[in-house]
Structure 1
Amino acid sequence: MGRRFPCSIGRGGMSRSKREGDGATPVGIHRIVGCLYRADRMARPCDWALKIGPRDLWSDDPRDEDYNLMVPAPYAHSHEKLRRADPLYDLVLITDWNWPYAERGRGSAIFIHQWRRAGYPTEGCIAFSRADLRWITARISYETRLIMRDAKSYP
């Protein structure tokens, strides 16, 4: 829709060679492939959103066959809890970074979520204000793309 939004990126900056745990946000054009939300904290943000349940986790263990996929607790491998005490994952857009067939170690859980505060870095995700994230989510269509450019991409 031609809009630009202030966002926060990974503590590792932007990367053209993303690796698991580097804290970098991958450069590229990414599709939005899913939407998760906390039904106990907000109304359903779009008709294709799925509720985050108390057992929902995201595998970030490159050694596991379910690497970069949502998995249920209990889960023996390294993972990230999707149902957080803070509001960061009240609304999560899932990107197609290293998905659906993950290359081990190339990075997992590159989400679009709410920021802690403007400019505060993420672990590699893209974060927006709650208001902007809700505005974006309500307008996503099948062809929506997230374009992440590094400084070298600009003339």
Structure 2
Amino acid sequence: MDIEVFADGRVVHGGRTYAASLGRAGILRDKHEGDGATPAGRWPLRRVLYRADRLPAPPGPLPVQAIRPEDGWCDAPDHPAYNRLVAKPFAASHEDLWREDHLYDLVVVVGHNDDPPVPGRGSAIFMHLKRDDGGLTAGCVGLRQDDLVELLGRLSADSCLRVHAAG
């Protein structure tokens, strides 16, 4: 059963509804690197990353991996590691996964533009924790920690993230 994401910030799965933060540019069908949009479409869920120093490993059928201080995610479209987990130090543009805030304490890697990655079509699309103020994301789906943990425990191995564009 898929996780359904709607433009009004509702996430629905198995009869439960969760409130989410989405990309600051809304949901777009034509995603590009740095546009701040959550990409419309149906995307597989690849794995779960989590901060073992802050949380226990979450339940569910997805592969689980602890985030290390040297972990990053390449967002440089011209680099061969584009839209991939990388080890720091890393010379090309990348996002740090080991953060001082709690946004990436729990991350679901969404299979958007990864098989294979197309340069400039968007990277680092995750389901992760919401900001304390509920603010918008750079293109990800943000959920409260309790909601994301619950959702992970309810998934099946073939669950996908289905993001619906408005209209």
**TM-score w.r.t. length of structure 2:** 0.87
Distance 2:114 2:47 in 1: 11
The runs of at least 4 consecutive aligned structure 1 residues that moved more than 4 Å come to none
Q: Please tell me the root mean square deviation across aligned C-alpha atoms, in Å.
A: 1.2
Of all paired residues, the percent bearing the same amino acid is 43
Q: Deviations over 1:91-141 (max 9, x none)?
A: 000000001310000000000000004641000000011110110112222
8 Å Cα contact 2:59/2:149 also seen in 1 = no
Distance 1:24 1:138 in 2: 27
Distance 1:22 1:50 in 2: 28
8 Å Cα contact 1:8/1:118 also seen in 2 = no
SS in 2 for 1:10: coil
Task: Name structure 1 gaps, 5 residues minimum.
Answer: none
- Identify the structure with the greater strand proportion: 2
Distance 1:119 1:73 in 2: 29
Q: Deviations over 1:8-45 (max 9, x none)?
A: 10011110000000000001111111100000001111
Distance 2:16 2:43 in 1: 16
Structure 2 equivalent of residue 44 of structure 1:
57
Structure 2 equivalent of residue 8 of structure 1:
21
8 Å Cα contact 1:8/1:119 also seen in 2 = yes
Q: Deviations over 1:61-109 (max 9, x none)?
A: 0010000000001100000000100110000000000013100000000
Q: Does residue 1:108 correspond to 2:115, yes or no?
A: no
